[in-house]
Structure 1
């Protein structure tokens, strides 16, 4: 096992963590949008 193998693993892990954070942010954003839409609908009724 040489060092370049470790480096590839670490970059893969960090990419995975980043994409996990992004999907979590997208989920929070879309649920926030749903709350806004429902609130606006409620006001307009």
Structure 2
């Protein structure tokens, strides 16, 4: 299973989500909005 998480790395809820999925051995793909903000669509 692969999970995509979008957010800011220092957000406590994002950190909890990353830890939750890693504990369950899911592949986590994290997109940091500070490094690469979403495009205006």
Structure 2 length as normaliser, TM-score?
0.36
- Tell me: higher relative CO, structure 1 or 2? Use CA pairs within 8 A at least 6 residues apart: 2
Structure 1 length as normaliser, TM-score?
0.33
- Structure with bigger strand share is 2
- Structure with bigger helix share is 1
Based on CA coordinates, which of the two structures has the bigger radius of gyration?
1
